[in-house]
């Protein structure tokens, strides 16, 4: 599903350094609002199509500056590995006090479409990952377009609100399901998934991740789950520096 009819890139700002991957700043007018996003462009691109990762940030990186989404999670890791990371990365940003739901979910897909067209992404190698609030968004977007992604990496994610004070932090696509865990596993059964969660996470406890993993086993979904002992909410740093995760991810292709 392409959303290019309502999306176009405007401002073009580059941090290019010869021989290294770099970030390109973009603006996206979408559904009556201007959004800013970043694209990491690798040092070397495949002329037949470069793999692309859509990264969804957490609560602390919300805003409209188009930069905060680079400060935690995948952004710092890309900065450290700019000379060797082999894929495009699209990093949209959710406005302050909003979630990866509704228009923001559609905006992320529109940014992915725009960047994929501009930088010649390989449509068979489109990957989705997010951390914390962005992990919720990973489930939301994947359930919206299950045929779109070659693989998913939700990090410290859940699908139901983790506490009374944040009821909007949820996955709307299965909010009305009696058993949302089985619904997620069943609807994404054909999409390879590797979940990561800290065993000691008190911000988003691993309860939902465990239930999704159990449901996936029951329905025969292609899902693996790594629970990190002694790790709290910050499961993203160990996840994104894990070479085994990246090797697995880039092996996945859409049929």
User: Does residue 194 contact residue 252 with C-beta atoms inside 8 Å?
Assistant: no
221-239 mean pLDDT: 97
231-253 mean pLDDT: 97
217-246 mean pLDDT: 97
Express each pLDDT in 10-69 by its tens digit.
445 555 555 689 999 999 999 999 999 999 999 988 877 899 999 999 999 999 999 999
* Band of residue 255 on the pLDDT scale cut at 50, 70, 90: confident
- The mean predicted confidence, pLDDT, of the chain is 92
103-130 mean pLDDT: 97
**Cα-Cα end-to-end distance for the chain:** 17
Express each pLDDT in 137-166 by its tens digit.
999 999 999 999 999 999 999 999 987 778
User: Does residue 57 contact residue 94 with C-beta atoms inside 8 Å?
Assistant: yes
A 10 A CB-CB count for 47 gives: 6
**What are the chain's domains?**
4-251 (3.40.50.1820)
126-146 mean pLDDT: 98
pLDDT at 106 over 90: yes
pLDDT at 2 over 50: no
Looking at residue 10, its pLDDT comes to 43
Looking at residue 8, its pLDDT comes to 43
pLDDT at 91 over 90: yes
pLDDT at 72 over 60: yes
Looking at residue 6, its pLDDT comes to 37
Looking at residue 18, its pLDDT comes to 54
* Band of residue 9 on the pLDDT scale cut at 50, 70, 90: very low
Closest CA to 184 of 148, 221, 227, 131: 221
Does this model's pTM top 0.75? My answer is yes
User: Does residue 215 contact residue 184 with C-beta atoms inside 8 Å?
Assistant: yes
pLDDT at 169 over 80: yes
């Amino acid at each position: 599903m392409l959303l290019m009819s309502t999306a176009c890139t405007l401002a073009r700002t580059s941090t290019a350094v010869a021989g290294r991957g770099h970030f390109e700043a973009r603006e996206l007018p979408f559904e009556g609002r201007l959004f800013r996003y970043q694209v990491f462009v690798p040092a070397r691109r495949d002329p037949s199509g470069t793999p692309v990762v859509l990264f969804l940030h957490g609560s602390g990186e919300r805003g409209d500056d188009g930069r905060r989404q680079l400060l935690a999670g995948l952004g710092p890791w890309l900065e450290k590995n700019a000379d060797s990371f082999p894929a495009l990365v699209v990093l949209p940003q959710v406005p302050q006090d909003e979630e990866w739901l509704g228009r923001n979910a559609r905006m992320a897909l529109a940014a992915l479409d725009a960047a994929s067209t501009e930088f010649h992404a390989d449509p068979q190698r489109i990957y989705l990952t997010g951390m914390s609030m962005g992990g919720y968004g990973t489930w939301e977007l994947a359930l919206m377009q299950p045929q779109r992604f070659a693989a998913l990496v939700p990090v410290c994610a859940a699908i139901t609100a983790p506490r009374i004070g944040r009821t909007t932090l949820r996955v709307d696509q299965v909010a009305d399901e009696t058993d949302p865990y089985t619904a997620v596993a069943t609807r994404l059964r054909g999409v390879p998934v590797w979940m990561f969660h800290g065993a000691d996470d008190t911000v988003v406890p691993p309860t939902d991740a465990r239930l999704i993993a159990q449901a996936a086993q029951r329905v025969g979904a292609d899902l693996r789950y790594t629970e990190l002992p002694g790790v709290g909410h910050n499961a993203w740093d160990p996840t994104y520096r894990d070479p085994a995760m990246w090797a697995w991810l880039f092996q996945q292709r859409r049929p």
